[in-house]
Structure 1
Amino acid sequence: MKKLLQNLKRPNSGRSYIPFVDGIRFVAILPVVILHANERFLRYVYGEENLTGLNEQLNYLISRGAIGVMIFFALSGFVLALPFAKSGYTFSYKKYFTRRLERLEPPYIFWMSLFAIIFIIKSGMGVGEMAGHYFSSIFYVHNIVYAEFPVINPVAWSLEVEIQYYIIAPFLAILYFNQKDLSFRRIFLAALIILFIVFQHVFGFQYQPFRASILGQLQHFLVGLLAADLFVHSKNWVNKKAYLYDILGVATIIMMMFTWTDDLEKALLFSTALMGFFISTLKGKIVPQILSYKWIPVIGGMCYTIYLTHLPLLELIYSLIDRIGYSTTYFSGLTISLIITLPIILLSSIIFYTVIERPFMKKDGFQQILEKIKSRISKRLVKTEQ
């Protein structure tokens, strides 16, 4: 088991590893998977129209799993800001973006291509029509072109938002950390988050299609930027751990669940709670330990693969359950189905992650793989010539 854990850990990419960051990824991906499993269970098996009473309340609580995506956004803001927060960092926009493309694009193109083929076979959509959706998704502009979630893999909408932030993140971070007065820049950023949320609601950017763009999500990334500042430049404060912050972590997750709406007041509370959650991961006594415990950061480290593949897998599993037949209550049926589906998703993700994603996570991984491919091709050419 220890060897398996070691083999699945995030490979050395030349940067210091922070386990609780992958632990946060675990916290973000789990409710998203359960949310989508519940949606498929209702669609294919139970029927949302059959929900009543407590079952409706349970369904509502599970639907709050969407907050995991906002946690991902904030975490991206946190991670992307860290190098800029440290003194002596030399920035190259070319290296910055090339590294992200080499790390993220190969798995993304592989899965989107595979799912596009499956979608054509399953739906009967013409190749020409699919080509528009496919290339719009590959270049992260599907929401801009079609004003709707990607048809190939709907969850890819958030990756389009991530790319939009990747483009502007270095400039925001440089401007922010160039201001040396800690108190001023933090107060300014907090005020900017509030003003942006107000601006967002004045112009209706909290609704589709703007919701699925940086205009609908920027505040969450900025929360991560602020958290990165605290993590790097307030070490003495961060190192003073307290159980109170563990309670804060639980309270803020509950608060996020009930403030994730389109209302202005709740949107302001949501960002406040999101910041509180990140503070709990920095200053809690128990929360950081849980987030760094064995399998939690390992599974969190596989979140990109899990995120890309879980929805098509859930579609397949629950459509099969529908064919087999079903007769039980909502709660027991959903529970049994999760006991079946979650291990399948985890095991398949371990395989997919190991084979497809992990090689590109290594430092110069993309170049190493290219060299291996070139070497194999040249060897085959030599054999054919002989």
Structure 2
Amino acid sequence: MTVKKEINKIYLQLNAPFSIPDFLDVPYFPSLDGWRAVAIIMVILGHAKLTVLPTSLYYKFAEIFIYADLGVRIFFVLSGFLITSLLIKEFITNGQINIKRFFIKRVLRIFPVLYLYLVVVFILNQIFDLGLISDHFLGPILYINNFSFFSGTWLTGHTWSLAVEEQFYIIWPFLFSILTKKLWLFCLIMILSIPFFKVFWYYYPTYQELTLAPFTSNADAIFSGSLLAILSYKKFFNINQKIWKIKGLDLLFISVIFISTYCVHRGYFGLLFYPSGSTLCNVMICLLLLRTIINNKILLYKFLNKKVMIQLGLISYSLYIWQQLFLMPRNGYSNKLSVLNFPLNVIIAIVVSYISFNYYEKYFLKLKKCIII
């Protein structure tokens, strides 16, 4: 009987109106910029592995401990959490969301630096005859580079993750408006269905694109972040819960993330980690994010809030775009573009991204803040 009462209590709470918890009643979370920095560091160091000899010490270290796709997963969870939080706050304030304004703000944030990058790559292709064709540009321009409609190449291949996010942005405000009270259920269904779909895709790979695998197999991380936001604004979490104060819990979460990612990459314990490894990672990332928002006493919070991490997080999107140009695999494009040695290639990528953010993107970010509509 007690179990039934608890289930009913949870169900009623899930269907209760949104309200802003104390720990989220602030305009800015610096810890999340710190997490962006962690994510982009993983991406950069993971890609940098391809610019060194396989016999080098760094390559061997990165092969075991650094995973670029884990960095992208953190970006996805962050995106789901932040975008859904913004929509919920707008809904609480206005009783509805302005979809037109949402799209304009997303365009101003995402389009400018990507299209500038594509123009630069196009010019380099004309100068150095890199062999890039229209397919290599059309996929990124249309934000469908995660599907196989167009052929891919390294210089624009990283835009697959932007495509996944953009596809999420296209559907999410409409789903939010239609399923406001049951949004939690939609997210839960999406998250729990992915392990079963992965088994299906494993045995029937020809059906992957037909069942939208290029989107759904990655968007589960975004929906995990979205569900985290929904549960937060349904008051499922608060600063007095003991879990946020347990010492050493961060190390446990990080260990689970690393072990599951390691096993997925190497095919170990495939029956468990192949279908469910990414779901487990998403849950652990969500718990870490929330812990570093709620508890400002832990060491991880202090690390994420260091000035260098905040600054790196601020330019993380620009850095994600530009790093692909400087971290090309050895012997890529027939050496027509000189490959800089590690770690100089990383340093130059950061410098270019800093310039891009401060002297180009900031103009569009200011426009974004002025959107009233």
Alignment: residue pair count: 326
Q: Is residue 2:43 matched to residue 1:37?
A: no
Deviation at 1:25, TM superposition (A): 0.9
Correspondence 1:1-386 to 2 at 5 A: 16-41=27-52, 46=53, 48=54, 50=55, 58-62=61-65, 64-86=67-89, 87-89=92-94, 90-123=96-129, 125=131, 130-144=133-147, 146=149, 148-150=151-153, 152-174=155-177, 177-179=180-182, 185=184, 189-190=187-188, 192-204=190-202, 210=209, 213-234=214-235, 237-238=238-239, 240=241, 241-242=244-245, 243-261=247-265, 263=270, 265-266=272-273, 267-284=275-292, 285-315=298-328, 337-338=342-343, 340-364=344-368
Map Cα deviations across residues 29-52 of structure 1 (whole Å, 9 max, x no partner).
1011011111122xxxx2x4x57x
Change (3 A) 1:119 1:273: same
CA distance in 2, matches of 1:146, 1:205: 22
**Contact 1:282–1:288 (Cα < 8 Å) also in 2:** no
1:252 is aligned with what amino acid? V
2:51, 2:327 within 8 Å by CA — same for their partners in 1?
A: yes
User: Relative to 1, partners in 2 of residues 1:249 and 1:203: Cα closer, same or farther, differing over 3 Å?
Assistant: closer
Matched residue SS, 1:237: coil
**Letter of the 1:138 counterpart:** I
Q: Distance in 2 between matches of 1:76 and 1:206?
A: 30
- Looking at structure 2, the residues matched to 62 and 117 of structure 1 have their Cα atoms a distance apart, in angstroms, of 36
Q: TM-score, normalised by structure 1?
A: 0.72
Residues of 2 paired with 1:104 and 1:302: CA distance? 13
Give 1:245 shift. Answer: 3.1
**Contact 1:76–1:221 (8 Å) recurs in 2:** yes
How far does residue 253 in structure 1 lie from its aligned partner after superposition? 3.2
Q: SS state of the match for residue 74, structure 1?
A: helix
Contact 1:82 1:228 in 2 (8 A): yes
Distance 2:318 2:324 in 1: 11
Q: Tell me the alpha carbon deviations over residues 240-266 of structure 1, each in whole angstroms, 9 at most, x when there is no partner.
A: 432243223422331343244485631
Q: 1:280 to 1:55 in 2, by over 3 A?
A: closer
More helix by share: 1
Contact 2:319 2:349 in 1 (8 A): yes
Please tell me whether the aligned partners of residues 326 and 346 of structure 2 are also in contact (alpha carbons under 8 angstroms). Answer: no
Does structure 2 conserve the Cα–Cα contact (< 8 Å) formed by 1:252 and 1:274? no
Equivalent position SS for 1:120: helix
Distance in structure 1 (CA, Å) of the matches to 2:46 and 2:201: 29
Q: Report if the CA contact (8 A) 1:77-1:222 is conserved.
A: yes
Q: Which amino acid aligns with 1:83?
A: L
* Identical-pair percentage: 22
Distance in 2 of aligned mates of 1:144 and 1:281: 30
Work out the CA distance in 2 between the residues paired with 1:206 and 1:140: 26
Gaps of 5+ in 1: 1-14, 326-333, 368-386
8 Å CA contact 2:323, 2:349 repeated in 1: yes
The amino acid of 1:201's aligned partner reads: V
Alpha carbons 1:158, 1:212 under 8 Å: kept: no
Between 203-212 and 296-305, report the one with greater CA deviation.
203-212
| Deviation for aligned residue 1:150 | 4.8
On the 8 A contact 2:84/2:226 being kept in 1, the answer is yes
Matched to 2:309, the amino acid is: I
8 A Cα contact 2:145 2:159, kept in partner:
no
Q: Is the 8 A contact 1:252 1:277 kept in 2?
A: no
Q: 1:57 to 1:37 in 2, by over 3 A?
A: closer
Deviation, structure 1 residue 287: 2.2
| Aligned equivalents of 1:138, 1:212: Cα separation in 2 | 20
The separation in 2 between residues aligned to 1:309 and 1:366, in whole angstroms, is: 27
Give the match's secondary structure for 1:220: helix
Query: 1:256·1:273 contact (CA, 8 Å) conserved in 2?
Result: yes
Q: Give the residue type in structure 1 aligned to 2:111.
A: E
